Structure 1
Amino acid sequence: MGACMALCSLASCASCLCGSAPCLLCGCCPSSNNSTVTRLLYSFFLLLGTLVSIIMILPGMETQLRKIPGFCQGGTAIPGIENHVNCDVIVGYKSVYRMCFAMACFFFLFSAIMIRVKSSKDPRAAIQNGFWFFKFLILVGITVGAFFIPDGTFHDVWFYFGIVGSFMFILIQLILLIDFAHSWNEVWVRNAEEGNSKCWFSGLLFFTVLHYALAFAAVVLFYLYYTKPDNCAEHKFFISFNLILCVIISVVSVLPKVQDASPQSGLLQSSIITLYTMYVTWSAMTNNPNRECNPSLLSLVSNISTTEAMPTSSPGMVQWWDAQGIVGLVIFLFCTFYASIRSSSNAQVNRLMQTEEGKGSMGGEEVGEDGLRRVVDNEEDGVTYNYSFFHFHLLLASLYIMMTLTNWYKPDITTQAMQSSMPAVWVKISSSWLGLGLYLWTLVAPVVFPSRDFN
């Protein structure tokens, strides 16, 4: 989609940026639904902000900025030019907090504007689906203003906003994974019934076993490296309790009554949720401030002591590119892209995600008299997703990115440094429990309420 749109003429691009929603596409692009293109473009804004945050947190960035004459306060100045920029603010965790604050404000603004939009006939739908150039200017303006926020208690307060928002986004990630697993299972089972059943069922079996094997291997490694015989009681509880919960949901997913009421449920979905739960458990344990229970991967690989493997970094410098941070970023990218193009037939997940059943994917072709394809307005009768909730979801994603890039560390106002904290541990663990509860509900709800339509 992105490569195709890049080949469009400048006139076409201008119509997309400044015009209304059904903008002109170039001849090489396939026709797309209005709702899909809009979600992809908003997701692009989020990914652009994420990229800027990553660049600003890279090591050595402050040193490079200070080489620019007259740029940083206290740096080498050109005669007659004052140093106006505080380079301590535009690099490190402070820049991440401000960039993500700007994105959160941007999406909160549109979430409030788009409340109760029912169809594309609503005048606000034109704002949702068009005027992209002006939206970009708004985002840039909010971002510039965010970097003028005084330090004070801003970072400490915004940390707790990040904690709450990330907790909610982890649940949304799990709901999206549930939806993806249901869609995956449904498509492969349908292909098996229509074609080579042996091949498709073998594929389902292979990935199910693979997911469970990875989850079991993770549990073994957790017990080996994140617990001690006479210490780390919290980690022992987290690992054991989550393992028991994963066994329970796996057994429930194949019970005869559950299968009769919800034939699309199965072990593939449970295996994906189990693996994701193990990731969240691992991510939580890596935030434990007790270094004896939280060894660095470097010390595990090279047999270096924990203190030697954790060099003292300059204040504000946060290294997010450890294993759990990279995995979290990959899962975030997948879920963001999937949320932009998803079209689910799972009624319960659609209710949780505020979308309409069976809508929002690729529609029919609409070709103009000049032979060029156009974006199809597929929301004249009703929106295919809740505009306000979608922006709220991106707001939470902004907060999750902020916490991921700063390793969920808590800013210390006194030392201007970042520290691990137990609140981050409990937020992640409790989100895994609530997420497992949501998945269990999608399994038992059709049994508990047989009169309702969950198909």
Structure 2
Amino acid sequence: MGACMALCSLASCASCLCGSAPCLLCGCCPSSNNSTITRLVFSLFLLMGTMVSVIMILPGMETELRKIPGFCQGGASITGIDNLADCDVLVGYKSVYRMCFAMTCFFFLFCLIMICVRSSKDPRAAIQNGFWFFKFLILVGITVGAFFIPDGTFPTVWFYFGLVGSFIFIIIQLILLIDFAHSWNKVWVGNGEDSDNKCWYAGLLTFTLLFYTLAFAAVVLFYVYYTQPDDCTEHKVFISLNLIFCIIISVVSILPKIQEAQPHSGLLQASLISLYTMYVTWSALTNNPNRKCNPSLLSLLSNVSTTEPSGDGTQDHVQLWDAQSIVGLVIFLFCTIYASIRSSSNTQVNKLMQTEEGRGSGGEGVVGEDGIRRALDNEEEGVTYNYSFFHFHLCLASLYIMMTLTNWYQPDTSTQAMQSTMPAVWVKMCSSWLGLGLYLWTLIAPLVFPERDFN
């Protein structure tokens, strides 16, 4: 699907911007469902905003902007008119905050508009699946307005919005990973049973061992680099607890009772969840303001230089772009794309993600009266996903991107810098514990409620 989107010409897309979502991509990917393409286009909006944020936070961007004559305030003017652009707002964490504020408002607006849409026969479904040019204009308008927000308390207040939203989004990411691992295991085991080819089982075993090896290696590195013999008690507790919890879910996933109730549960899912939990743990440890317990792992493993923190613990925007931010972006991109094309058979995950079972993928293109092949409208009887929840998910994703790109540092309005804070550490750790609890629930729910159908 992504390759098809890349091959579409800009001219053909521009001619359909006021039409429906299928019109945007029908010439390239006709055998697709209306619901899938709509989610992909909205996700594309989010990815475009993410790309802009990444560009504006790159080190040296402010220097490049100031080289443009007559652009930045305080720079050389070639027109005799005062320069209007505040380049301090257009780069660094300030630009990321404003760009993500605009995307959050955009998706929250559609979250409210799409409440209780039941099928594509609802007039609001046409808004969801079409009028892309006007949606783009709305997003651009909100973005421009966001850059006129005065600093004041905006960065501090929006930081706490980002903490709460990112907390929820980390859990959603874990749910998507649970669903992905479940589907992966089911497909490969099914292929192995149908073809009697042992390579499928060997593949599952290989990836399971790989994930567990990486998770265990991460634990060792955490103890080596993020703990001290006479200090860093919180880190020791966090690492040990998550290690114990990962062992528990791994053991529970292969218990005979669980296997009987959940035939497709296994160590593949548990290993992937364990690896993701270790990533969240690493991300939390890197936000500890105690520099003795939080060295720069990137500088230890590579030749990349980082700016030293000042005496008060604050850090400039160069340090915002580090290893855990890059890993977080990769996971975010995977989960965003997967959320746009997923069609799960996992009943519990569908309930958590507000989607329907086995719907929304693999449609048959239809030919309209004008001879143009269009995507199938597979939502005439009922929507395949909750429109409002999908936009709420993208709203949270915008906040998560903001926190990831700024490394979860809190703005300091007095020094115009960023600093690590313990609230970010606790938010990440609590989200990892809640996520592990959700995965454990997907395992034991059929035993707790045997009268319900969890197949």
Structure 1 position 387 matched with structure 2 position 394: no
Aligned equivalents of 1:5 and 1:267: distance in 2?
35
Aligned-pair CA distance for 1:438:
0.2
Does the 8 A contact of 1:25 with 1:372 survive in 2?
no
Aligned-pair CA distance for 1:17:
1.0
Aligned equivalents of 1:59 and 1:24: distance in 2?
36
Aligned equivalents of 1:97 and 1:230: distance in 2?
38
Aligned pair in 2 of structure 1 residues 152, 249: CA closer, same or farther (>3 Å)? Answer: same
**Structure 1 match to 2:366:** 366
Structure 1 position 337 matched with structure 2 position 337: yes
Aligned equivalents of 2:385 and 2:30: distance in 1?
22
**Structure 2 match to 1:230:** 230
Aligned pair in 2 of structure 1 residues 130, 15: CA closer, same or farther (>3 Å)? Answer: farther
**Structure 1 match to 2:216:** 216
**Structure 2 match to 1:84:** 84
Does the 8 A contact of 2:22 with 2:37 survive in 1?
no
Q: Which amino acid aligns with 1:214?
A: L
Does the 8 A contact of 1:93 with 1:316 survive in 2?
no
**Structure 1 match to 2:419:** 419
Question: Per the alignment, in what secondary structure is the counterpart of residue 16 of structure 1?
Answer: coil
Question: Per the alignment, in what secondary structure is the counterpart of residue 106 of structure 1?
Answer: helix
Q: Deviations over 1:73-94 (max 9, x none)?
A: 1111114222111111111000
Aligned equivalents of 1:72 and 1:303: distance in 2?
34
Structure 1 position 441 matched with structure 2 position 441: yes
Does the 8 A contact of 1:179 with 1:344 survive in 2?
yes
Aligned-pair CA distance for 1:66:
1.1
Aligned equivalents of 2:282 and 2:194: distance in 1?
40
Aligned-pair CA distance for 1:13:
2.3
Aligned pair in 2 of structure 1 residues 373, 384: CA closer, same or farther (>3 Å)? Answer: same
Aligned equivalents of 1:386 and 1:212: distance in 2?
35
Q: Deviations over 1:101-135 (max 9, x none)?
A: 00000000000000000000000000000000100
Structure 1 position 325 matched with structure 2 position 338: no
Q: Which amino acid aligns with 2:164?
A: V
Aligned-pair CA distance for 1:323:
1.2
Question: Per the alignment, in what secondary structure is the counterpart of residue 339 of structure 2?
Answer: helix
Aligned-pair CA distance for 1:326:
0.6
Structure 1 position 131 matched with structure 2 position 131: yes
Query: 18-27 or 181-190: which moved more?
Result: 18-27
Aligned-pair CA distance for 1:365:
3.0
Aligned-pair CA distance for 1:68:
1.4
Aligned pair in 2 of structure 1 residues 27, 309: CA closer, same or farther (>3 Å)? Answer: closer
Q: Which amino acid aligns with 2:37?
A: V
Does the 8 A contact of 1:27 with 1:371 survive in 2?
no
Aligned pair in 2 of structure 1 residues 298, 38: CA closer, same or farther (>3 Å)? Answer: closer
Question: Per the alignment, in what secondary structure is the counterpart of residue 16 of structure 2?
Answer: helix
Structure 1 position 95 matched with structure 2 position 134: no
Aligned equivalents of 1:92 and 1:40: distance in 2?
28
Q: Which amino acid aligns with 1:351?
A: K
**Structure 2 match to 1:110:** 110
Does the 8 A contact of 1:117 with 1:125 survive in 2?
yes
Does the 8 A contact of 1:16 with 1:130 survive in 2?
no
**Structure 1 match to 2:190:** 190
Q: Which amino acid aligns with 1:342?
A: R
Aligned equivalents of 2:20 and 2:27: distance in 1?
19
Question: Per the alignment, in what secondary structure is the counterpart of residue 198 of structure 2?
Answer: helix
Q: Which amino acid aligns with 2:308?
A: M
Aligned equivalents of 2:330 and 2:24: distance in 1?
32
**Structure 2 match to 1:277:** 277
**Structure 1 match to 2:256:** 256
Q: Deviations over 1:2-48 (max 9, x none)?
A: 55346556774245310134427555534210000000000000000
Question: Per the alignment, in what secondary structure is the counterpart of residue 282 of structure 2?
Answer: helix
Q: Which amino acid aligns with 2:202?
A: S
Q: Which amino acid aligns with 2:222?
A: F
Does the 8 A contact of 1:9 with 1:26 survive in 2?
no
Question: Per the alignment, in what secondary structure is the counterpart of residue 411 of structure 1?
Answer: strand
Does the 8 A contact of 1:253 with 1:259 survive in 2?
yes
The normalised TM-score by structure 2 is 0.95
Does the 8 A contact of 2:104 with 2:399 survive in 1?
yes
Aligned-pair CA distance for 1:368:
4.0
Question: Following TM superposition, where does structure 1 have runs of at least 4 consecutive aligned residues deviating by more than 6 angstroms?
Answer: none
Matched positions, count:
453
Identical residues among aligned pairs (%)? 79
**Structure 1 match to 2:401:** 401
**Structure 1 match to 2:17:** 17
Does the 8 A contact of 1:15 with 1:23 survive in 2?
no
Question: Per the alignment, in what secondary structure is the counterpart of residue 89 of structure 2?
Answer: coil
Does the 8 A contact of 1:409 with 1:419 survive in 2?
yes
Does the 8 A contact of 1:57 with 1:93 survive in 2?
yes
Aligned pair in 2 of structure 1 residues 85, 133: CA closer, same or farther (>3 Å)? Answer: same
Aligned equivalents of 2:200 and 2:318: distance in 1?
45
Q: Deviations over 1:180-208 (max 9, x none)?
A: 00000000010011013311111111111
Question: Per the alignment, in what secondary structure is the counterpart of residue 168 of structure 1?
Answer: helix
Does the 8 A contact of 2:21 with 2:41 survive in 1?
no
Does the 8 A contact of 1:93 with 1:318 survive in 2?
no
**Structure 2 match to 1:310:** 308
Q: Deviations over 1:322-366 (max 9, x none)?
A: 111110000000000000000000000000000001111121232
The normalised TM-score by structure 1 is 0.95
Aligned equivalents of 1:114 and 1:71: distance in 2?
40
Q: Which amino acid aligns with 1:327?
A: V
Aligned equivalents of 1:422 and 1:28: distance in 2?
49
**Structure 1 match to 2:165:** 165
Aligned equivalents of 1:324 and 1:288: distance in 2?
14
Question: Per the alignment, in what secondary structure is the counterpart of residue 418 of structure 2?
Answer: strand
Which runs of 5 or more structure 2 residues have no equivalent in the other structure?
none
Aligned pair in 2 of structure 1 residues 105, 321: CA closer, same or farther (>3 Å)? Answer: same
Aligned equivalents of 1:452 and 1:74: distance in 2?
67
Does the 8 A contact of 2:26 with 2:375 survive in 1?
no
Question: Per the alignment, in what secondary structure is the counterpart of residue 164 of structure 1?
Answer: helix
**Structure 1 match to 2:240:** 240
Q: Deviations over 1:48-74 (max 9, x none)?
A: 000000111111111111111221111
Aligned equivalents of 2:47 and 2:361: distance in 1?
21
Does the 8 A contact of 1:318 with 1:406 survive in 2?
no
